[in-house]
């Protein structure tokens, strides 16, 4: 039996899920809704580790992904005079070592584009076979405004006022998911967001000659951290993180982007490393993105015929480096369970929840208590942390929260119903 499915969000897991599911039955009708007018390709580097390369290989996309991977060779922490205080080389697949860079790192926008292209190409190839009976349809510049659950379908109201019934609605609309709020209610949705008390801004600035393949990190007093990542690209990605004591940054998210830029400029204006370059770059950036870092912890991943996928259901926070991995696992398992259960959508959603829980718990296991160590308040604290990081860079294995427990590595459940390659 073919299903009529709405996926809200054309980020990473929305297109991945649609492509995977379509393999099991090309006659499924899958509509992907994106609130922006085109693909949202901003963002900095995302890591592909643990299960992500296995899934991409099964999808036949790993070679394309590898061709887009950036060549970052490690991380150096520097002091305000630009002198290296510690160095962490890139971590090879399967290696357990503290560090920022993993073997496969790709710009988020490239990843989104590869997955979108794969879904469109597959759809075009299948068109002669399925005609108008199925396929993947993208609708940009639209969102949903209401969901009405009935025993056999969900009635969705779109932002253009039209209504349509679906067998299943997949919320793939990220950490702040509107679909989650509509389906589970504001109260449950708000309570699911567990803030790390850290605010992050990401943007690109022109590269300077002295920047090479190493990512660079700097800790500044006042609980601030700055990273630059250039690798082999013509621009430099900047990541600003602040453990905020006031409410200035959080309040800015309700305002237009210029106000967010202003709030981050004020917060970082007195750092003593690359200050003018970073602040000017921030003001002029065209791909600025800022948010409060946190985890999404939902008691259930579905209600009726609405199911949460990726950051919408279980964002582990960018500090784990596992968001993309977990969302691809979700896309693979949800597609697999739907393929395995046929018309029994509710049975598939129950199995998806059972299969995902160990992976979610694993990826969300994170020592938030020790996070403060990376955000010292005083100059003495910054100096001490520098010494500690130097010691760790020399002695492997002291920072357990950075050695992700990847005991599920490679043990991906097989779904022959998905008709994948590997
Ligand atoms: C702009 C942006 C930049 C990011 N940058 C980084 C980064 O630098 N490093 C990092 O580790 N992670 C970053 N992330 C998060 C990262 O993409 C996710 O953690 C992870 O890959 C899981 O992806 P996802 O598909 O679940 O969600 P996302 O990648 O967040 O995608 C969600 C998609 O849903 C769309 N959407 C949101 N609300 C609606 C709505 N109401 N209706 C329709 N569509 C909607 C969004 O525009 C987006 O295209 C970024 C996310 C975004 C959106």
Residue 141 structure tokens: 């510049």
Q: Is there a contact between 232 and 187 (Cβ–Cβ < 8 Å)?
A: no
Read off the pLDDT of each residue in 233-245 and give the average, rounded to a whole number: 91
Residues with CB under 6 A from ligand 1: 8-14, 33-36, 40, 42-44, 46, 108, 143, 172-174, 178, 202, 289, 310-311, 315, 318, 323-324, 327
What pLDDT, on the 0 to 100 scale, is given for residue 372?
84
Note the pLDDT of residue 404.
45
Residue 397 has pLDDT above 60, yes or no: no
Q: 283-297: per-residue pLDDT in tens?
A: 999 999 999 999 999
SS3 readout for 168-214: EEEECCCCCCHHHHHHHCHHHHHHHEEEEEEEEEEEEEECCCCCCCE
**398 or 310: whose pLDDT is higher?**
310
Q: What is the pLDDT of residues 304-347, one digit of tens each?
A: 999 999 999 999 998 888 899 999 999 999 999 999 999 899 99
Task: Tell me the CA–centroid distance for residue 323 and ligand 1, in Å.
Answer: 10
Q: What is the pLDDT of residue 92?
A: 64
Give the span between the Cα atoms of 292 and 250, in whole angstroms. Answer: 7
Report CA(11)–ligand 1 centroid distance (Å).
5
Spatial distance between the Cα atoms of 59 and 369, rounded to a whole number of angstroms: 38
Residue 406's pLDDT is 47
- Structure tokens that stand for 183 in this block: 């389906």
> Mean pLDDT over residues 266-282, rounded?
94
User: How confident is the model over 124-140, as a mean pLDDT?
Assistant: 81
Query: Can you give the pLDDT at residue 366?
Result: 75
Strands (E), 276-331: 289-296, 302-303, 306-308
Please provide the average confidence, as pLDDT, over all residues in the chain. Answer: 90
For the four alpha carbons of 373, 379, 385 and 389, in that order, the dihedral sign comes to positive
Task: Write down all domains in the chain, each with its CATH number in brackets.
Answer: 4-66+108-192+295-366+406-418 (3.50.50.60)
**362: closest CA among 417, 322, 319?**
322
Q: What is residue 305's three-state secondary structure?
A: coil
- Quick one: pLDDT band at residue 402, thresholds 50, 70, 90? very low
Distance in Å, CA 140 to ligand 1 centroid: 15
pLDDT at position 396 is 58
Interval 127-150 mean pLDDT: 88
Band of the pLDDT at 50, cuts 50, 70, 90? Answer: confident
Residue with CA at minimum distance from ligand 1 atom 51: 43
């Amino acid at each position: 039996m073919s299903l009529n499915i709405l996926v809200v969000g054309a980020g990473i897991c929305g297109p991945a899920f649609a492509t995977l599911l379509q393999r099991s039955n090309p006659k499924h009708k899958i509509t992907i809704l994106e609130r922006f007018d085109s693909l949202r390709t901003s963002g900095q580097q995302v890591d592909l580790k643990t299960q992500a390369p296995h899934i991409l290989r099964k999808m036949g996309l790993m070679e394309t992904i590898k061709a887009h991977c950036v060549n970052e060779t490690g991380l150096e922490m520097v002091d305000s005079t630009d002198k290296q205080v510690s160095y962490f080389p890139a971590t090879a697949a399967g290696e357990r070592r503290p560090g920022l860079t993993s073997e496969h790192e790709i710009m988020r926008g490239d990843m989104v584009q590869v997955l979108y292209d794969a879904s469109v190409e597959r759809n075009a190839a299948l068109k002669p076979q399925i005609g108008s009976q199925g396929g993947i349809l993208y609708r940009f510049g639209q969102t949903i405004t209401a969901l009405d659950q009935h025993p056999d379908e969900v009635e969705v109201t779109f932002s253009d006022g039209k209504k349509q019934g679906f067998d299943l609605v997949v919320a793939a609309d990220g950490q702040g998911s509107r679909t989650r709020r509509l389906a589970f209610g504001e109260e449950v949705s708000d309570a699911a967001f567990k803030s790390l008390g850290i605010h992050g801004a990401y943007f690109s600035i022109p590269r300077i000659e002295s920047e090479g393949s190493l990512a660079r990190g700097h800790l500044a007093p006042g609980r601030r951290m700055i990273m630059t990542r250039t690798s082999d690209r013509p621009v430099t990605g900047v990541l600003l993180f602040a453990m905020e004591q006031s409410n200035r940054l959080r309040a800015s998210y309700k305002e237009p982007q210029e106000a967010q830029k202003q709030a981050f400029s004020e917060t970082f204006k007195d750092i003593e490393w690359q200050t003018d370059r970073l602040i000017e770059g921030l003001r002029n950036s065209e791909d600025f993105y800022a948010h409060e870092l946190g985890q999404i912890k939902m008691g259930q991943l579905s209600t009726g015929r609405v199911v949460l996928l990726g950051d919408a259901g279980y964002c582990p926070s960018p500090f784990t480096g596992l968001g993309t991995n977990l969302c691809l696992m979700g896309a693979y398992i949800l597609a697999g369970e739907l393929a395995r259960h046929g018309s029994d959508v509710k049975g598939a959603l129950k199995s998806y929840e059972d299969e995902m829980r160990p992976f979610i718990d694993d990826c969300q296991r994170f020592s938030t208590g020790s996070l403060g160590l990376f955000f010292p308040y005083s100059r003495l604290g910054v100096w001490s942390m520098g010494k500690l990081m130097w010691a760790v860079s020399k002695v492997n294995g002291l920072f357990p929260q950075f050695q992700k427990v990847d005991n599920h590595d490679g043990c991906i459940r097989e779904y022959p119903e998905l008709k994948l390659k590997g």
